[in-house]
Amino acid sequence: MQEPGNSTQWTPEPTLITEPAPATWPPSPTEASAEAVVPPPPSATAFAPSETRHRLEFTGTAGEYFRIWIVNVALSIATLGIYSAWATVRKRRYFYASTKLAGSPFEYLANPVAILKGRLIAAVALGILVGASYISQILYFCLAIGLVFAVPWAIVRTLKFRARYSSWRGLNLRFDGTRMGAAKVFLLWPMLAPFTLGLLYPWIVAKQQEYAMSNLHYGQSRFSFTFQPGRYYRPILLAGLGFLICYIAIIVGVAIFAIAGDEFHPERSFVFWAAMGGTYLYATVATTYVRARITNLLWNHTSIEPHRFESALKARAMIWLVLTNALAVIASVGLLIPWAAVRTMRYRASCFTFVAEGDLDQFVAGATVPESAVGSEFGELMDFEMEFGF
Amino acid sequence: MSVTLTALYYDGRVSRGVPVTVERSADRLIVIWGENVSLELPASAVRPMPRVGSTPRTLHLPEGHLECPDCPELRIWFGHGSRFEAISDWIERRWPAVLASALIVLAGIVLFTQYGLPWTAKVVAHRVPVELQDRLGRETMLLLDKRFLKATNLPVDRQAALRERFDRVKEGLAQASRYQLEFRQGGPLGANAFALPSGTIVMTDELVGLAADDDEVASVLAHEIGHNELRHHLRTALQNSGLFAVAALFTGDVASASSWTVALPTTLIHSAYSRDFEREADDYAVDRLHRVGLPPGAFARMLRKLDEAHPLDGRMAYLSSHPETLERIEAAGRRTAALARP
């Protein structure tokens, strides 16, 4: 047993024994999160190897997050938005570090200054676009077209940035999808969708998920995605049908309204607002339903050899969550936003399972390169959000 | 008395954590010791991630990182990691400071939406060159002509008489040449008049029909000119953008700011702004009529006729873009009386 106090017996440089020791050390408290399947007797050769199911643990609380959130808002407003980069990083670090897989928390490593730079550039670009609309229609048109073609670039940057600065047990994720791939999946196919009366849309969603997951790496291991577009049709077409019905109802309603009345003050009409409210309600319910289903589809088809993922979100529970959250937020003048966020995250984590084959100590780091936030803030501005469920 | 911390060490090369002990030696070196791990480095080589809530602390080393629960030694040995975030963390840990932040946020948002934003929008809008506002109106006129409006049925001499009144109303204004009067059949829009940012004022035949005399028509034209003179279109656009920015800061990201839970309160505020602008234009109309020598009482009379012809549903007052007509009539009456006093 060496005495740490006697520094004269040690070399000043950090020393590290590079050979990993045999995996005898068990990960810290997994009893609560893992249900080990009893391994089969040695005679059974062609059967299930030992599987451990790890449920995601979310240990964040509303009280704690409220404090972080309210200070985020106060300082963001006080600094006219400059602090918002730090606010975003603190929020993400809180949610990442409160989420544990097999007992180890995730880590968000982004530098707030990089995010601030990305935001300022995005804000300036937006300002130029708006200014151009005042100066010259042609210029605005050209810039708008240019923006459309920038979408694949922004998406790739968003995915790259998020992945690079997300880590678990010291290894980070890495996204190496190409802009061509993003252009095909986020521009080309969606442009063709209207010609198929929207029938192409579920296939496109599956393609987008494939793009996002199959180009993702954890350390040197690559995620793989099983592409089965057929499964996406039922939820999306069902919701789409509902929208069609709503749309027709609105057109009929407006027609009746226009013929009957001679006065065009729709905002004074109770019927008008009731119809608007009804539409919003339906839109929320339908969107939540679709989101729950496609999140499940995403994770149930994703694996990282030899392990895989499972997601069991219930649409009904998600809809209840979203509606009650909305009521709570409105009734509390926004003060219950952190409570709603924590509640949602807790539910989502409880439905997410990582099915491990063997131990999780074997992942090896890949090469890492710092990523700039330029473009990823564009992605966030343009409301781009890959539905990972988190 | 040397303090020993326990932590997990991750070398950043494989996904395995090793339990280690961390101590500070007599000459301020940090010693990390565990199974097959033995490191000694200066404290300055350890970079702590700033504390957030009660989440596990991570300390980044030149190679790999340490993960451990929070404790006072971390601050003593390694500092905060970020001065900036240390302040936020300090505030977050004290409920009085948190409550104070909450009050500041609520008070700040109320003051901003009630006073700060409208005042800023007013100042900025008056600095913007008038010509830039022209663009906002062009497409609207084309759309209106295509969808709702038909050519006027008013006889030419009636139009000429009204144009003369119009010229009288805009007499002396710096931007008088920009204001053009257009007559249309209202159709589904009924008795109506509106001003486009470019200076075009559109008036429907139905409105002309409602008025008892040309002075009453002139009062409506004065109200519409008021919208332009006071830069209401631009101020509306600026105020709406400002509201959106505040919503984004409040909810934490741009995507949530467009959700419908945010849309509800912002719609209420939009409507409130719109009603304020209508009141401003009403006051302007009365003042303008008085200024050019036309009877200011004509405006209140016109409002009364509008109210009788098209009574509006009072239930949706909070969502309406115009104040209650009775309120407008009373306000116009009061202002007229005030002007009449010597």
Give the chain A residue nearest B98 (alpha carbons). Answer: A67
- Strand pairing class (A302-304; A307-311): antiparallel
**H or E element that contains B82:** none
Of B19, B85, B108, the CB nearest to A77: B108
Residues of A336-370 as b/e, b for ≥16 C-beta within 10 angstroms? bbbbbbbbebbbbbebbbbebeeebbebebbeeee
The pLDDT score that the predictor gives to residue A379 is 59
Which of A4, A263, A280 has the CB atom closest to B23's CB atom? A4
Mean pLDDT of B1-23: 88
Q: Are A246 and A282 in contact (CB under 8 A)?
A: yes
* Cα–Cα distance, B251 to A127 (Å, whole number): 22
Nearest by Cα to A75 from B70, B86, B259, B244: B86
Q: What is the pLDDT of residue A55?
A: 92
Q: Say if CB B294 and CB B218 are below 8 A apart.
A: yes
Closest to B215 in 3D by CA, of B282, B277, B285: B285
Residue B134 has pLDDT above 80, yes or no: no
Q: Which of B7, B90, B89, B52 minimizes the C-alpha distance to A107?
A: B52
Q: How far apart are CA A129 and CA A44, in angstroms?
A: 67
What is the structure's pLDDT at B137? 65
Task: Write down the pLDDT at residue B318.
Answer: 63
Q: What is the 3-state secondary structure (H, E, C) of chain A?
A: CCCCCCHHHCCCCCEECCCCCCCCCCCCCCCCCEEECCCCCCCCCCCCCCEEEEECEECCCHHHHHHHHHHHHHHHHHCCCCCHHHHHHHHHHHHHHCEEECCEEEEECCCHHHHHHHHHHHHHHHHHHHHHHHHCHHHHHHHHHHHHHHHHHHHHHHHHHHHHCEEECCEEEEECCCHHHHHHHHHHHHHHHHHHCCCCHHHHHHHHHHHHHHCEEECCEECEECCCHHHHHHHHHHHHHHHHHHHHHHHHHHHHHHHHCCCCCHHHCHHHHHHHHHHHHHHHHHHHHHHHHHHHHHHHCEEECCEEEEECCCHHHHHHHHHHHHHHHHHCCCCCHHHHHHHHHHHHHHCEEEEEECCCCCCECCCCCCCCCCCHHHHHHCCCCCCCCC
pLDDT of residue A197: 82
B316 at interface of A, judged by CB pairs closer than 8 A: yes
- Please give the backbone phi and psi of residue B174, each rounded to the nearest 5 degrees, phi first: -60, -35
In whole angstroms, give the CA distance from residue A243 to residue B31: 63
Q: How many CB pairs under 8 A join A and B?
A: 218
Identify the pLDDT of residue A7.
Answer: 34
Q: What is the predicted ipTM?
A: 0.79
Tell if the CB–CB gap between B10 and A170 is shorter than 8 Å.
yes
Alpha-carbon distances, residue A120 vs A89, A124, A128, A154 (angstroms): 16, 6, 12, 15
The yes-or-no verdict on residue B49 having pLDDT over 90 is yes
Give residue B284's pLDDT.
93
Mean pLDDT by 10 residues, chain A (390 residues): 35 35 37 40 52 92 94 90 91 94 93 89 82 74 85 87 91 91 91 87 93 92 93 90 83 71 56 76 90 94 92 94 90 90 93 90 77 67 49
Residues of A in contact with B188 (CB under 8 A): 258, 262, 264
Residue A268 to residue B316, Cβ atoms within 8 A: yes
Nearest to A169 among B17, B31, B192 (CB): B17
* Cβ-Cβ contacts under 8 Å for B105 (sequence gap 6 or more): A70, A73, A74, A77, B250
Alpha-carbon gap, residue A160 to B126, rounded angstroms: 44
**What is the reported pLDDT for A228?**
93
- Distance, in Å, from the CA atom of B151 to the CA atom of B265, rounded to the nearest integer, reads 39
Q: What pLDDT sits at residue A26?
A: 37
Q: Structure tokens of B1? A: 């008395």
Interface check for B39 against chain A (CB to CB < 8 A): the answer is: yes
Mean pLDDT of chain B: 85
Interface touch B316/A270, C-beta < 8 Å: yes
Tell me if chain A has a CB within 8 Å of the CB of B129. Answer: no
β-sheet with B180-185: strand ranges across? B150-151, B180-185, B200-204, B193-195
| Amino acid A268: pLDDT | 53
- DSSP H or E run through B194: strand B193-195
Q: Which residues pair with B145 in a beta bridge?
A: none
Instruction: Answer for the pair A272, B319: CB distance below 8 angstroms, yes or no.
Output: no
| Contact at CB, A170 and B319, closer than 8 angstroms | no
End-to-end CA distance of chain A: 46
Give the contacts of B130 (CB within 8 A, at least 6 positions apart): B175, B178
Residue of B nearest to A133 (CA): B135
pLDDT at A38: 42
pLDDT digits (tens, 9 = 90+) for A58-82: 999 999 999 999 999 999 988 888 9
Sequence-distant (≥ 6) Cβ neighbours of residue A88 within 8 angstroms: A112, A115, B252, B253
B123-126: long-range contacts, CB 8 A cutoff, minimum separation 24: B124/B238, B125/B231, B125/B234, B125/B235, B125/B238, B126/B231
CB contact under 8 A, B53 and A67: yes
Residues of A in contact with B8 (CB under 8 A): 28
pTM of the entire predicted model: 0.80
In the numeric block, which tokens belong to residue A221? 């291991």
Q: Which of the residues A93, A280, A381, A384 would you substitute to probe the B interface, choosing the one with the greatest number of B C-beta atoms within 10 Å?
A: A93
The three-class DSSP label of residue B147 is helix
Q: How distant, in Å, are the alpha carbons of A2, B32, B34 from that of A6? A: 9, 14, 17
Q: Which residues of A120-151 are buried (b: 16+ CB within 10 A; e: fewer)?
A: ebbeebeeeeeebebeeeeebeebeeeeeebb
Asked if B303 and B330 count as a contact pair (C-beta separation under 8 A), the reply is no
- Measured between beta carbons, the chain B residues lying within 8 angstroms of A360 are 15
Question: In this structure, what are the phi and psi dihedrals at residue B10, rounded to the nearest 5 degrees?
Answer: -115, 125
Residue B28 has pLDDT above 70, yes or no: yes
CB atoms within 10 A of CB A235: 21
Judging contacts by C-beta atoms under 8 Å, the chain A residues touching residue B310 are: 263, 265
Cβ of residue B324 closer than 8 Å to a chain A Cβ: no
Q: Please state, in angstroms and as integers, the Cα–Cα distance from residue A321 to each residue in A161, A279, A337, A340, B79, following that order.
A: 30, 19, 13, 8, 41
Asked if the peptide bond before residue A202 counts as cis, ω within 30 degrees of 0, the response is: no
**Chain A contacts of B130, Cβ < 8 Å?**
none
Give the SS3 label for residue B151.
strand
B137-177 pLDDT, tens digit each: 666 777 777 777 888 888 898 889 999 989 989 888 888 88
Q: Regarding beta strands B180-185 and B200-204, do their DSSP bridges make them parallel or antiparallel, or are they unpaired?
A: parallel
Are A12 and B40 a contacting pair at CB < 8 A?
A: yes
Instruction: Sort out which chain B residues have CB atoms less than 8 A from A81's CB and list them.
Output: 245, 249
Chain B residues lying within 8 Å of A280, measured CB to CB: 260, 263
What is the CB neighbour count within 10 angstroms for residue B115? 10
Cβ pair A365:B84 closer than 8 A: no
Weakest-pLDDT range from A372-376, B191-195, B299-303:
A372-376
Closest residue in A to B309 (Cα–Cα) = A263
Q: Residue B21: its pLDDT value, please?
A: 92
Q: Which residue has the higher pLDDT, B191 or B222?
A: B222
CA atoms within 13 A of residue B83's CA, in its CB half-sphere: 0
Cβ contact, residue pair B310, A265, below 8 Å: yes
Asked whether A279 and A246 are in contact (CB, 8 A), the reply is yes
Rounded to a whole number of angstroms, the distance from the CA of B166 to the nearest CA of chain A is 25
C-beta atoms of B26 and A87 within 8 A = no
